[in-house]
A = this chain, B = another copy of it.
Amino acid sequence: MEIPYKIYLTEEEMPKAWYNVRADMKTKPAPLLNPGTLQPMGFDDLRPVFCDELIRQELDDTTANIPIPAEIRDFYKMYRPSPLVRAYCLEKALGTPAKIYYKFEGNNTSGSHKLNSAIAQAYYAKQQGLAGVTTETGAGQWGTALSMACAYLGIDCKVFMVKVSYEQKPFRREVMRTYGASVTPSPSDTTAVGRAMLARFPGTTGSLGCAISEAVEAAGASGGTYRYVLGSVLNQVLLHQSVIGLESKLALDKYGVKPDIIIGCAGGGSNLGGLISPFMGEQLRGEANYRFIAVEPASCPSFTRGKFAYDFCDTGMICPLAKMYTLGSSFIPSANHAGGLRFHGMSPILSELYHEGLMEARAVEQTSVFRAAEQFARTEGILPAPESSHAIRAAIDEALLCKQTGEEKTILFGLTGTGYFDMVAYEKFHDGKMQDYIPTDDDLSAALSQLPKQP
């Protein structure tokens, strides 16, 4: 059967339930801990911050299939199913016998897969009768996705945007405003955390950690009418993102294709976790044997050079402790252009799987990532996001290995988004002004030495 360039599922074929990979894990990911007591946080402990239904999903590590509410499925139909693309043109350009597929999540206005979880989180907030949600955004894809979801559902969206991004990425900000979100540069004088930060560091351009703290505080100060939402790392986010992997698997199954290697970029883990979940489930149940490869930036190498330990998810150290591969919450990654991968930690689910040897990881340097991005753009026609291009780099490298060995491996990778708002980075690359950053062992030791007390 000839494989088309793009495999689309019909709307009837779209998944009706998310897949919760934790149900098939023998060792479950470690629970979130209260940083004061070092005790696991339960439903009631998390209620002031998160929506009830999302806490249930966060804590549920036994239910394999969690139904997707009809209203979310309707929203999904506006931009899903996303295409599974056979990269015929890239294969030809590489001269490889490998067969390359990618799941393209960038064909929506947020420009990435983030919308899959944004609509779910906004939906449950609305169901709970809340007025709105608060969040932070760095590069802006998550903030955009959440703005779109909230506009659709008619609830309020307050985004704290790291000040340097707010100023340098005015276009992202305007997209969020188009969707009716309020966008506040962080640190701001609207929160105690922000005011303290401004007093201590006048002229600071902000950080993701501070923006998280402000968003959490703003939700807390709302008298219970708002909750805080997060676009990665959490178990619930990987659950929602499983729609990526489920669709990919359904599309491949239609044509009887089994991938040998599954590749995704890894920042907090939302896209990688979503892509691999159903495949990993098969592996955990002993039904298949895949190679999974996480690709991270050499400038922020949580998997390949971090430690598997309890740590804060935020640099402000106000969030619960999560057990994960981490570089230490005080680690400040250098100015890599893949803003979405600049996070010191990693999803607890993926961390546990990696710890058990069920997944590989590799770190790549950004100049080689942009070379891959450019080659991909010229052959496949899509201008990829710098984040997604980490996966492209590894896919091309694996395909070139196949060229050497003559093996006809099937490679599947996640193309998470488009790079339309990243042209400053592309310009640097074209002008030969892009540098690679690799933290020294001393840099890493310094940050890891400040890990919190372990339970």
Which A residues are within 8 Å of any B CB, using their own CB? Answer: 4-6, 8, 10-11, 74-75, 77-79, 88-89, 107-109, 111, 148, 151-152, 170-171, 174-175, 177-180, 374, 377-383, 418, 420-421, 423-424, 426-427, 430
Contacts and interface: CB of A to CB of B under 8 A. Distances in A.
Contacts of A424: 171
| Dominant secondary structure at the A interface | helix
B430 A177 contact: yes
A378 B179 contact: yes
A171 B420 contact: yes
Contacts of A421: 420
Contacts of A378: 151-152, 178-180
B381 A178 contact: no
Nearest to A144: B383
Contacts of A5: 11, 74, 77-78
20 contacts: A4-B77, A5-B77, A8-B8, A78-B381, A109-B381, A109-B383, A111-B420, A151-B377, A152-B378, A174-B423, A174-B427, A174-B430, A175-B383, A177-B426, A178-B378, A178-B383, A178-B430, A179-B377, A180-B378, A420-B421
Nearest to A378: B151
Q: How many chain copies does the complex carry?
A: 2
Nearest to A171: B423
A2 to B, nearest CB: 9
A4 B74 CA distance: 10
Nearest to A374: B178
B380 A78 contact: yes
A251 to B, nearest CB: 13
A180 B378 CA distance: 8
Contacts of A170: 423, 427
Contacts of A426: 174-175, 177-178
